[in-house]
Structure 1
Amino acid sequence: MLDQVRLRVRRVYHGDELLIEVLGDHRSEGFPSVAEILREALQAVREAHPDNLDDPRIAMSQDRFFSYWAYPGGHYEIDDDTWGLFVSAKIGNGAVIADVEQALLGSGKFVKENVDFAQYK
């Protein structure tokens, strides 16, 4: 088994909402599929993005792909950027991020890294 992937639960820059930042080369072969782990653990289904950010033209122009997911506890967004992978939630932020965190840590493929929240103000 590969080493566990580090993740951070932190604030968005200049805001109070939480997000999960997955560290490491998330586009490399063998990297755990965050979307698949969350789909299974949370019984999530993919939906059309409410802001149309899942439009393929956006992905092509920005090398950034958004997906939007619903599960019994709410909704979350996966932002797959060239440089990072993030999971965020606008509604029910704290509860949804806690569910996502537990699902990822529960998979045994991720480990949480402590964060100094003052760095993100």
Structure 2
Amino acid sequence: MTKPIRFYVRPVYHGSELLVEIADDHRVDGFPDLAGILRHELGARREPHPEGMDRPVIALLHQRFFSYWTYAGGAYEIDDDTWGLFVTATQNHAAVIADIERALLRTGQFVKEEVDFARYR
């Protein structure tokens, strides 16, 4: 990909927890391996999802794939579905999302777009 990939740091709908939303199409050829980038940048490792959301039956039923990752700063989940790619954290979410934001920006492949938080209330 030649142009930077846009992402948002925004609140979840009707909540205050933050998430990272990839704004560009993550299904195109040449899209970078987000999980691999975060694994490398954060020293993260994949773990079984604590709620079993990474089971194949979930992916088939919902057409989305969840993966759960831990690193020294906490844990996060990558939600990869047909329409979007998101990174969320349920504990210590502000710090974890900030780490993910910094990791993406360090690659030089991503650019953060500002959003109006009021749109998500």
Between the aligned partners of 2:2 and 2:51, the Cα distance in structure 1 is: 36
RMSD: 0.7
Indicate whether 1:104 and 2:104 are aligned.
Answer: yes
- AA at the equivalent of 1:89: A
- AA at the equivalent of 2:60: M
Offset at 1:61?
1.5
Count of equivalent residues: 121
Match of 2:47 in 1: 47
The one-character-per-residue Cα deviations of 1:9-56 (angstroms, maximum 9, x if unpaired) are: 000000000000001111221001110100000000000000100000
Q: Normalized against structure 2, the TM-score is what?
A: 0.98
Unaligned runs of 5+ in 2: none
Q: Normalized against structure 1, the TM-score is what?
A: 0.98
Match of 1:73 in 2: 73
* 1:26 match: secondary structure: coil
Unaligned runs of 5+ in 1: none
Between the aligned partners of 1:14 and 1:88, the Cα distance in structure 2 is: 15
Between the aligned partners of 1:23 and 1:60, the Cα distance in structure 2 is: 24
- AA at the equivalent of 1:73: G
Between the aligned partners of 2:25 and 2:16, the Cα distance in structure 1 is: 27
* 1:13 match: secondary structure: coil
Offset at 1:83?
0.2
Match of 2:8 in 1: 8
Runs of 4+ deviating beyond 4 Å: none
